Structure 1
Amino acid sequence: MKIAIGADHAGFELKELISQIVEDAGYEVIDMGTGSSCSVDYPDYAEAVAQAVSDEKAERGILICGTGIGMSIVANKFKNVRAALCNDLFTAKMSRLHNDANILCMGARVIGKGLAIEIVKTWLSTPFEAERHLKRVEKINIIERKVINK
């Protein structure tokens, strides 16, 4: 599975750590930047990762900024993207089980490195529990198509 990973300057250090964890777990990492802790604009990196997921160049994505909020706002503008901001293990698990989230957003200034690693491991290992939730995700897709086609 290909995982696109991106971060702004606030998330750079955590992105580097998470990229290695993801790679060590057997996933192919597509590093979308940033390449340093120099100040950059988070929308650029959220766009790159969300576009990769939307275009099916990556099955999933991980975005990291200071809070994760900005990244999630940008990512959710893209077709077929369901980005979830997760600051704990429960939301990481539920975002996959119930919402089939395909982009994980995290805040490097909100959670510590240890928790971030556990969130990523949980999120990557949790499958979508289709059953009754498939209908709800399909409704999200219908709404998305209506909005995009306006």
Structure 2
Amino acid sequence: MRIAYGADEATPTTDSVAAWLRASGHQLVRELVGAPWPSVGAGVAQAVVDGVAEVGVVWCYTGTGVAMAANKVAGARAALCVDADTATGARRWNDANVLALSQRLTTEELAREIIGAFASGVPDADELQVIAGLEPQTHSAAPHG
């Protein structure tokens, strides 16, 4: 799987998880490490939306900032997940395509569990229809006259 990967700060955990992903056969693309959290979130999300990566993984201290920045990119659906069950649900029910993690709360072992669940998750087609119905609709104005 092609994964866009970013963290606002390189830590032993973010570095170890990146190495584990590579060793597991994933290709890390558009790696953004050490950039400001808004750039990390938006950059990784853009790589996913552009099709450069299938999913994204972003880290910041709380995970909230990178998730919010990622969600500013049209077509990105970032979810802050603190456990594997939440990651599974985010993929299945919400078609999340960017996983946000907290550097403060997430250990290397927990990150592996969460990312594993997220990467192997499959969106539910019925749920996708519900989400698609929430997308803003554009209306073209017909000329009056």
TM-score calculated relative to the size of structure 2: 0.86
Q: Give the secondary structure class of the aligned counterpart of 1:98.
A: helix
Corresponding residue for residue 15 of structure 2: 16
Per-residue displacement from partner, 1:5-32 (whole Å, max 9, x unpaired)? 00011x5432212212222222211152
1:48 is matched with which residue: 38, 43, 51? 43
Higher helix share: 1
Partner amino acid, structure 2, of 1:50: A
* Of 20-29 and 48-57, the range deviating more from structure 2: 20-29
Partner of 1:34: 33
User: Kindly, what percent of the aligned residue pairs are identical?
Assistant: 34
Give, as a single letter, the amino acid of the residue that structure 2 aligns with 1:44: S
Aligned 8 A contact 1:14 1:64 in 2:
no
Q: Aligned match of 1:95 in 90, 114, 121?
A: 90
Mapped pair 1:76 → 2:71 = yes
Instruction: Provide the secondary structure at the position in 2 that maps to 1:33.
Output: strand
CA RMSD across the alignment: 1.7
**Cα distance in 2 for residues equivalent to 1:52 and 1:31:** 7
Residues 1:104 and 2:99 aligned together: yes
Matched residues in 2 for 1:104 and 1:29: separation? 14
Bigger-Rg structure (1/2): 2
The question of whether the paired residues in 2 share the 8 Å contact of 1:96 and 1:126 is answered with yes
State the distance in 2 between where 1:98 and 1:26 align. Answer: 26
Alpha-carbon distance in structure 1 between the residues aligned to 2:98 and 2:85: 16
Cα distance, 1:68–1:112 mapped onto 2, change above 3 Å: same
Partner of 2:61: 66
Residues 8 and 42 in structure 1, CA contact (< 8 A), matched pair in contact too: yes
SS class of match (2:122): coil
Preserved contact between residue 43 and residue 74 of structure 1 (Cα < 8 Å): yes
Query: Are the counterparts in 2 of residues 12 and 34 from structure 1 also a CA contact under 8 Å?
Result: no
Deviation at 1:110, TM superposition (A): 1.4
The residue type equivalent to 2:3 in the other structure is I
Show CA shifts across 1:78-119 (max 9, x none): 111110000111111100111111000000101222111110
User: What runs of 5+ residues in structure 2 fail to find an aligned partner?
Assistant: 139-145
Code of the residue aligned with 2:17 in structure 1: it is I
Are 2:135 and 1:136 aligned?
no
**Aligned residue pairs, count:** 138
